[in-house]
Structure 1
Amino acid sequence: MLLPLLTAFASADGHQVSLVAHPDVDTRTLTRDTTRAIFAMRQRTWPDGQAVRVFVLPSNHAVHGRFTKERLAVYPHQLQLAWDRMVFSGTGQAPNRVSSQPEMLERIATTPGALGYLEREYLDDRVQVISME
């Protein structure tokens, strides 16, 4: 009886986190390096020149942790350090922070050029999934 329960917890926590963008974004695929550069706020435009508006969940949010580790191959604190360095040195700014996945969905759906991430159950037709190479 305990084994199915453990399996249920493992699958509930193992939801895929998808990279999502505003529907007006022409880019359909990004490499891990480009995605990492965008989320580190080093790359500020899409390949077609449109400004990227990056949205992230709080650094201590479980989905943020999974996204950074699984999709970007960096730890959340490494990303935070990069943002802090840019803000304090005056060379850049931190991404837009949202408090929840429903808020992330709403902001990406209504902000041209927006990029963020969501678990699959939060996806709807107001945003597009960007695949990663």
Structure 2
Amino acid sequence: MSRILTFPLVLSLLLSALAVRADTIIVHPDVPIDHLSANELRSIFSMRSLRWVNGVPIRVFVLSDQSPVHKSFVKQKLEMFPYQLRMTWDRAVFSGTGYPPRKVSNIEDMVSRVRSTKGGIGYVNDESIPLLEGVKIVEIN
């Protein structure tokens, strides 16, 4: 394949990858935090942290494993591969020590469920920011 044909292909792949990044972490408005460390975020989505600092149970919402936004979130924010996260959830369920996160079908459902569930946490891509009324955005340090 010539360089002339390769460059547009690589450019389009890079642009499409950027378009689906999951850069925004959202929580229910009553969650008493404004920022999380990367380790705290990983602990929450690995289902190791079960309660917020005020004692309210953490309710994790995720998109399907095949979702480009989910893949981006797991790789960029949790610094792991989606299959590794899935194995962590499966191990907790199989051993009886935990529950899997709640799966939602799309970004709108993610925002709606986080907004209506006390202790809820989820993620969205940057294009979803106009939909975020009624949830709180959390910064990752």
Is it true that 1:130 corresponds to 2:127 in the alignment?
A: no
Tell me the matched-pair count.
132
Distance (whole Å) between structure 2 residues aligned to residue 6 and residue 91 of structure 1? 44
Q: CA deviation at 1:47?
A: 2.4
Q: Segments of 4+ in structure 1 off by > 6 A? A: 2-6
TM-score scaled by structure 2?
A: 0.84
Is it true that 1:119 corresponds to 2:125 in the alignment?
A: yes
Give secondary structure in 1 for the equivalent of 2:77: helix
Distance (whole Å) between structure 1 residues aligned to residue 89 and residue 25 of structure 2? 20
**Alignment-mate amino acid for residue 32 of structure 2:** D
Per-residue deviation, residues 43-90 of structure 1 (Å, max 9, x unmatched)? 011123221100000111111000000001011000100100010111
TM-score scaled by structure 1?
A: 0.89
User: 1:128 and 1:12, CA in 2 relative to 1: closer, same or farther beyond 3 A?
Assistant: farther
Aligned counterpart, 1:89: 95
Counterpart among 15, 18, 33 of residue 14 in structure 1: 18
Aligned counterpart, 2:61: 55
Per-residue deviation, residues 25-57 of structure 1 (Å, max 9, x unmatched)? 110100111110100001011123221100000
Who wins on radius of gyration, i.e. which is larger? 2
RMSD of aligned Cα (Å): 1.9
Identity within the alignment, %: 36
